[in-house]
Structure 1
Amino acid sequence: MKMIIHTALKKLSAEQKFMISVIIVNGGNYLYNLILGRILGPEEFADAALLITFLLVLSFVAMTFQLSTAKFSVIFEKDLFKNFINIIYKYSSAIGITLGVLLILFANSLQALFNTQSSTMFTLFGIGVPIYFIMSVNRGVFQGSKKFDSLAVTYQGEMISRLIITLILIYTTQLQSSILVALGIAISFLFGLLPFQSKHIEITKKHILPPTESKYILKFFLLTAFYEFTQIIINNSDILMVKHYFETYEAGLYASLALIGRVVYFVAWMFVMLLLPKVVQKQKDGEAHSPILFKYVFYITLLSAAIVLGCYLFPEFVINIMFGSEYISIAPLLWKYAIATSLFAISNIFAYYFLSLDQYIPVVLSALLGVSQVVLILFFHNTLSQVVIMQIIAMAILLVFQLSFFLSYQKKG
């Protein structure tokens, strides 16, 4: 049996192994959330879900560094790459420390804003933030150089350690659950650093890039940062606003809904990881890159349709299996939320495709629709159902705009 598995693994490409690894990591992260939901119950899970949302926000901010590192790991070579990698580590560390300190300083204000039981959870989370930024640059090196085996290990290490450490803390200590969850998240960042690519790092030397390359990097970095900011708004504003506007019990129910409905987005992220270096390399070589987009859009659309159908036909079964009977009242909204996240996931593939090609308009479109989602929820939040419907409207418009821009881009091309 072992020989069969070993032979099968040898036949898989690095990309296929990475895709399998991402599925395992996403499955592990889902298991982590599901276990917390069952152990803690809706009210305590609301605080844990807030921390998980903060983790998603952090991942989007740090993704700016990861994608920039991945792109220029393909483009730059030798000394130019060495200078670039040392500079980006320097700036990522500085931003990570700044954000971490801000979280610690404003921990009490965040507790009041989001109605949490503790401010210590934000302090512990803030301590881990600088590590996460360094980890993201390290992942960007592996992603750009297509070392998908090493990239997979960093994600697996973070996921497995967070799951195990958090459960050990919950079952062996009597501290507030939100504090233990925050501690587990912060410690897992250390495991996510492994393996660490230290070959080109030279801390004691000063590194400078030519003005042309510096401007190109800054342009791409700002464009990516702007887009990741829109991702934060679209992907997390609903949970944060629900936590603010609704009672803790309802916020916990909505958190479980969001977790299940976002499964399609987490899988789409796997294709984004593969898409960017491929498109950049194709553009560098002067080859056609739209077939890569078509392939990934087809995969995500197929997956989305299957998830929405499953959520529509068996909502109570899905909720009961994943979170338990305490959350069953949220079941009627499950398929609607799945539609919203599916529309966003498909739009996201288009957006990252154009980001790889240094196109600005799709990013601006995402920003406008991200803001419109917040505005819609701001005015229409009497029920959780209204919150979900507002997201469907915003994401449907976003996808129409992205498709229209793609057709226009193809026509010009």
Structure 2
Amino acid sequence: MLAIPFINYKISHQQLFMLSALLVNAGNYAYNLILGRMLGPEAFADAAILITLLLVLSFAAMTFQLGTARFVVLMNEQEQLLFLQKIKKWGTRIGFLLGACFVIFSSFFQEVFQTQSQTMFIIFGLSVPLYFIMSINRGIFQGNQDMLSLAKTYQIEMWSRLVLTVLLIVLFHKQPAVGVAIGVGLSLILAQFPKNKTQKGTGQLDAKLNKEVLNFFLITAFYEGTQILINNSDILMVKHYFDAREAGLYASLALIGRVVYFVAWMFVMILLPVVVEKKKNGEDTRKILYKYIGYISILAASVIATCFIAPQLIVTIMFGEAYLEVASLLGPYALATGMFAIANLFTYYFLSLGKYKSVFISFVGGFLQLSLIVLFHTDLIQVVFMQILSMILLLLAQILFFIKTDH
């Protein structure tokens, strides 16, 4: 517990992490808002592609963070050492492989997403391995419930990216997306600290345990793939189907509307190790789930109501009058995101318990959203309403699965 001077109150490390997560989310929002105002809708569309790819990367690397966190809780000290050696090797190799894809196919990405530069994809590709290494480090802190160190890595990443990107956009004013890519890369270098020091283990993981690790990582990777489908495919597809101005307008809409999801994520970070620990001790885990569903539902309802009541005011304050055209879509988009945030909590709860069927429900929801947007994208209104439809069905399916599993 941390005592605050002059105040007769103590803050737990979990509460401090949640406060830090709120600050990080606010900083990330400020980062997006500054880019939107500095660049305008058309140039912001290119920058938004990099921001979206960074989110895609974060979901892919989250497989390693969640897996590391889960098995650090479950394993004894010797097993942890062997596990961490293996997972670091896997993470580094996959990071280099994905990074190489961005570098080698940079011209292809430029063509598909209609960007001004392919250099931005090359620089981004070089940064990819760093994200996987960083995520494993964060997973160790998360599993050990060292929330202070975990908070520091997020703070360093956010502040360095915010400050450095603004400076680099000024420097690369003719190709601002290149400045954004360099800013991302530098922030990932700095976010490697604080570093968790682990010793080398001797021997090999038990075959049964090794199989359990592999199964969890495969299932989690599959789920994170569905997260990418649901949370990012809309921006990527709008950038492909629509012109630069409309894509930039939609990117601003998505960044505002996703505030529910980004804030809800801090609850997921705390939920996983707590649920694993309670299951390990034979305690009831449902109360934890109900508690966090309550938190996220209240948060989502507040944000959605605000977006419906004052959309023009919100868009003007955040991005300026140049983006007002999409204000009418802010409430509906926030509704879709709020439902996804709640459905997502169910899936991570089951993942924590080692139950994987809910992952396939999420995959169907993500594939449905992708398919509907491919089939129906006459305008941005249609794109948003296809997401609402798919998220309603996903949330209902997750609730029904929970009720069935709980009895």
- Identify the residue that residue 140 of structure 1 maps to in structure 2: 139
284-293 or 7-16: bigger deviation = 7-16
Structure 1 runs (4+) greater than 2 angstroms displaced: 4-10, 171-175
Question: Which residue does the alignment assign to 1:364?
Answer: 360
1:80-159 equivalences in 2 (<5 Å): 80-159=79-158
Match of 2:335 in 1: 339
Contact 2:172–2:178 under 8 Å retained in 1: no
Partner of 1:64: 63
Aligned AA for 2:385?
Answer: I
Q: For residue 358 of structure 1, report the CA deviation from its aligned partner.
A: 1.4
Q: In the alignment, is the contact (CA less than 8 A) between 1:86 and 1:207 conserved in 2?
A: no
Quote how far apart the aligned CAs of 1:78 are.
1.3
Which residue is 1:289 aligned to? Answer: 285
Aligned residue number for residue 20 of structure 2:
21
Amino-acid identity (%): 53
> Does the aligned pair in 2 maintain the 1:38–1:323 contact within 8 Å?
yes
Q: TM-score, normalised by structure 1?
A: 0.96
Indicate the residue corresponding to 1:226 in structure 2: 222
Q: Do the aligned partners of residues 199 and 365 (structure 1) sit closer, same or farther apart at CA in structure 2, a change above 3 Å counting?
A: same
Question: Bigger CA drift: 143-152 or 164-173?
Answer: 164-173
My pick for the range that moved more, 75-84 or 115-124, is 75-84
Q: Deviations over 1:241-272 (max 9, x none)?
A: 10000010000000000000000000111010
Q: For residue 162 of structure 1, what is the aligned residue in structure 2?
A: 161
- C-alpha separation in 2, matches of 1:25 and 1:169: 21
Equivalent-residue separation in structure 2 for 1:165 and 1:196 (angstroms): 22
Q: Which residue of 1 aligns with 2:195?
A: 196
What is the one-letter code of the residue matched to 1:391? Q
Structure 2's unaligned 5+ residue stretches are none
Matched AA of 1:28: G
Query: 2:270 — aligned with what?
Result: 274
Shift, 1:172, TM fit: 3.5
Q: Which amino acid aligns with 2:381?
A: S
Give the TM-score taking structure 2 as reference length. Answer: 0.98
State the Cα distance separating 1:5 from its structure 2 match: 4.9
The amino acid across from 1:348 in the alignment is: N
Deviations 1:254-312 (A, max 9, x none): 00000000000001110100000000000000000000000100011001111111011
Change (3 A) 1:92 1:7: farther
Change (3 A) 1:375 1:214: same
After TM superposition, give the deviation of residue 62 of structure 1 in Å: 0.2
- Cα deviation for residue 7 of structure 1 reads 4.9
Which residue in the other structure is 1:386 paired with? 382
- Map Cα deviations across residues 24-62 of structure 1 (whole Å, 9 max, x no partner): 000000000000000000000000000000000000000
Question: Using the alignment, how far apart are the partners of 2:146 and 2:181 within structure 1?
Answer: 30
Which letter does structure 2 place at the counterpart of 1:292?
I
Ranges in structure 1 where 5+ consecutive residues have no aligned partner: none
Superposition deviation, residue 361 in structure 1: 1.4
- The CA distance in 1 between the partners of 2:221 and 2:244, in whole Å, is 32
Seen in structure 2, the aligned counterparts of structure 1 residues 207 and 10 have a Cα distance that, compared at 3 Å, is farther
Q: Which stretch shows the higher mean deviation, 232-241 or 165-174?
A: 165-174
| Residue-pair matches, total | 406
Counterpart amino acid of residue 225 in structure 2: F
Residue 358 of structure 2 aligns with an amino acid whose one-letter code is P
CA distance in 1, matches of 2:135, 2:124: 16
2: CA distance, partners of 1:250 / 1:18: 37
Residues 282 and 312 of structure 1: CA distance in aligned 2, closer, same or farther (over 3 Å): same
Q: In the alignment, is the contact (CA less than 8 A) between 1:67 and 1:140 conserved in 2?
A: yes
Q: Which one-letter code corresponds to 1:400 in the other structure?
A: L
Aligned-partner SS, 2:5: helix
Does residue 1:348 correspond to 2:347, yes or no?
no
- Distance across 1 between alignment mates of 2:38 and 2:141: 36
The offset of 1:171, in angstroms, is: 2.3
**1:288 counterpart SS class:** coil
Cα pair distance change 1:261/1:15, threshold 3 Å: same
- Counterpart Cα distance in 1 of 2:103 and 2:209: 36
Other structure's SS at 1:6 match: coil
Q: 1:313 to 1:174 in 2, by over 3 A?
A: closer
Matches of 1:79 and 1:289, distance apart in 2:
28
Q: Contact conserved, 1:87 with 1:207, CA < 8 A, in 2?
A: no
Write the distance in 1 (CA, Å) between the matches of 2:141 and 2:4. Answer: 25
1:249 aligns with 2:210: no
For residue 65 of structure 1, what is the amino acid of its counterpart? Answer: F
Output the amino acid matched with 2:304: V
State the shift of 1:168 in Å: 1.2
Which amino acid in structure 2 is aligned with residue 187 of structure 1?
L
Residue 167 of structure 1, CA deviation: 0.9
**Structure 2 CA distance for aligned equivalents of residues 288 and 198 of structure 1:** 34
Q: Which amino acid aligns with 1:184?
A: G
CA–CA distance in structure 2, aligned partners of residues 144 and 396 of structure 1: 32
2:163 partner amino acid: I
Decide whether the 8 Å contact of 1:68 with 1:221 is kept in 2. Answer: yes
The AA in structure 2 aligned to 1:164 is V
**Deviation (angstroms), 1:193:** 0.8
Which residue matches 2:405?
Answer: 409
Q: Letter of the 1:18 partner, please give it.
A: F
> Partner amino acid for 2:85?
N
- Separation (CA, whole Å) in 1 of partners of 2:8 and 2:269: 21
CA distance 1:253–1:9, shift in 2 (3 Å): farther
